[in-house]
Structure 1
Amino acid sequence: MDDLDEYPAIAAHWLQVFMDRQLPVAITWNPNGKVRLGLGADPDELEALRADCEVVTQLTPAPDSLAYDWGDRVVEWVMNPLSLPEPLVCFQTLQTTSRGELLRQTAETVASAIAEGQVAARDVAIIGPGLDAIARYTLAEILTRQGLPVASLNDQRPLVNAPVVRALLTLLTFVYPGLGRLADKDAVAEMLVILSQIPQAAELSPWFATIQIDPVRAELLVDHCFVPHLEQPDLLPVERFDRWDRLGYKATEAYNRLLQWIAQQRQQLQQRLMPGVVGCLDRAIQTFYWGGNHLPPDQLTALRELMETTQQYWTV
C-alpha cells in the first residue's frame, strides 16, 4: 500500500488481518507527508504498524528524479518565504496581478515552448493541486485553440461532476423503481441533451453540432412529457406536447429511441432478465455513448471509474 500516512485509521485493522496470517504486505510511508491530516487520515494511529514491520529507510530520492536535484531548495523556499532563493536556470517564474492573467500566461508559455521546439507536446504536464473547473477550462481552452490536445489526468473531482456520469445515473431512475426522488427537471433535461450526442471526434465539429436534442428542446420535452414520481418517474410520448412538430425530426427520433430503450430495460427487469445495474450501465454506454471510444480522455476515464465503482459496490 502506497502512502499509508494518507489513509484513515481503519486501514490499520484490515492490514493487520493480512499481517497476522503471515501474508506478504508492502507499505510505503512518507515521514514528511501527512498531507491528508484533518481530511480523514490518521497517520498517528497507522504508525503503530511500524512495530510489526521490517523497516527499510530510504530518505534520499531516486537519482533520476526532480526531488534529487531540487527538492531541498524548493522545500526551503516554501518553508522560509522571506529567504532570497538562488535562481535556477531550469525554473521560470511567472508573476501576475490576477489569477486569470496567470492562467493565460501559463498556457501561452507552454504553447510558445512547443511551437519553438523546446519541448514536445507529449512531454508537457501542468500540475495544479486543487485546480478548480474554471482554471481547468481556461487552460484547456487556450491550448486547444492553438491546436494542442489536452487530457486531464488524475482528476480529483467526484464522479458525479461529470455530465456523462450524471446522465447515466438519471437514466437509472427511469429503469429501477424507488429512485424518483433523484430525478428532477434539470437533471432530466441534461440527460436528454447528453444522451442524444452523435459520436464524433471533437476536432471535427463543435459540441452543439453533435447533439440531436439541444437544451431548449430538452426543456420543452421536460415541461410537457416528464412525469415526476417518487416510485417510478416516467417520460410520456412526444405527442403529449401539443406542438411537438416544433421539435424537429432529429430531436423527435432521438427522444423516441430513448423511450424505446427505457421500455426494453423495464420489460427485462420485470422478466428478471436484467443482468444487474452493472449490465444496465454497460448497455447504456454501448447504446448512447457508442462504447465511449470517441469521448475525450477525461470523460472516458470517468465512465471507467463509474463502472469499476459500481462493480465493487455491487460485489460487496
Structure 2
Amino acid sequence: MPVSSVKKYSAPILFLLPALVVLAMVSFYPLVFGFYMAFTDMSTTKGKWISWDFVGLENFRRIVEELLTPELGLGRALLNTVFFTVVNVALQVLVGVAFAFMLNSDKLLWRRFWQAVFIVPWAVPGYISIMAWFFLYQYSYGYFNQILMNLGLERIDWLGQRLDTFWPWVSINATNVWLAYPFIMTVTLAALQTLPRDLLDAAKVDGAGGWQTFRYVVLPHIKPPLTIATVLTTITTFQQFGVVWLLTGGGPQIFVKAIGTTIYVTDLLMTYGYRTIWQFGDYGYGAAFSIFLALLVVPASIYAMKKLRVVGE
C-alpha cells in the first residue's frame, strides 16, 4: 500500500480503535469465554465458581439425553416451545387478519377509533401489559375470577397456582396473542388498503361472489406480506420468554415420582435456559445449552430470510 494511502486511512483507524477495543471486550471475549465454559463444569452451586474442571462433551451429552427423554427438562421445554409456537402463531394470524378485514370494511363506524383501540397492545410497554394480565389472572383476587364468582361459577386456576395444568397454557397463549396480533393486523390492513379498487369492481362485473373474490383477488394480493409477517412472528414466538416467565415462571411445578424429578408444565426453551443459568447457577451446562439454541435458531432464521427474499421478489 502506498505511503499516501496509509496516511489517508491511519487517522480514521485510530479514531475507530477505541470503539473496536471496547466492542471486542463486550462482545468477542464473552462469546469466546462462553464457548469455553460449555466444556467445563462451572457452577455456583457445586463449588465450581472460582476453579472448575474441563469435562469435554459431558454437557452436550446431557443435552442429547434430555432431548431424547421428553419427561426431562430440556425435552419437555422443546416440545412445549414447538406446541406454543404452532398454536400461538395460528391464533395471532387468525385474530390479526380478522381485525384487519373488520377495520378495512366500509360499513365499520368510527374506524379511526377502532384502529386506535386495536393498536393499544403495541403502544403499552410489554412488561406493564404482562403484569396487568398477571393481576387479572390471580386466583384469589383477580378480576376474571371475581366475574365468575359473581355469576355463581367456580374460580379458575389461570396461572397454575393450585397446580392446574390446562388453564396456565390458556393464559399464556391468550396474553401473547393479545400482545402480538397488532403486527399481523397492521401488515394485513396495509395490504388490503393498497388493493386496487378496479380489481374488486372487475370481479363484481364478472359475477364473482364473496368467496371467489377473496380467493382469486384479495388472497393473492395479501399473501406475500402476510407470509413475511407470519415467518417473522414464528421466529419471535419461538424465542418467547417474558410472557411465560412473568405469568407462570414456567410452572406450575409438579414432582413426578415415576421419574424422580420436578417438571415445569409451561416451561419453554428460553425460560429453561434462564432458570438453568441464573437460578441453578449451572453455567457450564447453560453455556452448552446456549450453543445448542444458537444451532437451532440461527440456521432456521437464515432459511426463513431466504424464503422471505423469494416471497418479496
TM-score with structure 1 setting the length: 0.26
User: Could you say which structure has the greater relative contact order, defined with CA pairs below 8 angstroms and 6 or more residues apart?
Assistant: 2
TM-score when scaled to structure 2? 0.26
